[in-house]
Amino acid sequence: MTDVDVPESHPRYESLLLRHRIEAGVEKGITSEQGLIAQGRGEAFDYLLGERTIPSADAAERAAAAHLLRAERPVISVNGNVAALAPGETVELAEATGADLEVNLFNRTEERMEHIAAHLREHGAEEVLGLEADGRVPGLDHERATVDADGIGRADVVVVPLEDGDRAEALAEIGKTEIVVDLNPLSRSARSATVPVVDNIVRALPNVTDHARELADADAAELDAVVEAFDPEAALAAAEAAIRGQR
């Protein structure tokens, strides 16, 4: 997605590659310019985490997989940064869990919506929701309230990576089980989530997919046990401790 050639020997290779994906997303009409700022903020937290998936994040990713597999109507919400950073990984997660994909944007225009939907299709998605825009999340006065009634509107489990805090809170208020991917354990999004995944999205989504494939043949009791064993408050505390260098 980018013409910039970053040598793999560069000590910040992975980080630079992700930055270029966001830049290319802006050029392609997928990502807003504000997404550049959001990427930098997340990168700072990832640096403090050691750019690794800590054990509590892996446990969250396994719990996320169990929630998705036992859901009746799971949906993965996709914004511009998600589409730029991990389009293929998002599609693979949807395929592994039977989830729908729905585009949802703060800076919503029909052109951006179409660009992102087309980009996801280029990476293997068969159907992309969000363009219908016939439902709303109550309590929000901006475009992220706009959803498909048959998508996020009726979903029981929603994956909301790189989410705005106010929409995460609003979705929780109407009873959605939320799986939030956010590198900041102190954010409203992470603290509103049923399953806060404090990890980089490019690691988190493949890990959830891997866990979903491992749990594909699990019965309801096993999935329930995985869900019940996960403690969101403990996961957030462990992530904060890791960031602060306490362990």
What's the average model confidence in pLDDT over 183-192? 95
Q: Does 43 or 101 have the greater pLDDT score?
A: 101
Q: Does 157 or 23 have the greater pLDDT score?
A: 157
Residue 153 has pLDDT above 50, yes or no: yes
Q: How far apart are CA 72 and CA 75, in angstroms?
A: 10
Q: Specify the pLDDT at position 68.
A: 98
Residue 96 has pLDDT above 90, yes or no: yes
Residue 13 three-state SS:
helix
| Percentage above 70 pLDDT, the chain | 91
Name the strand (E) or helix (H) holding 180: strand 177-181
Q: Does 99 or 34 have the greater pLDDT score?
A: 99
Q: How far apart are CA 238 and CA 247, in angstroms?
A: 8
Q: Specify the pLDDT at position 1.
A: 44
Q: How far apart are CA 130 and CA 146, in angstroms?
A: 8
Domains identified in the chain and CATH numbers: 55-243 (3.40.50.12640)
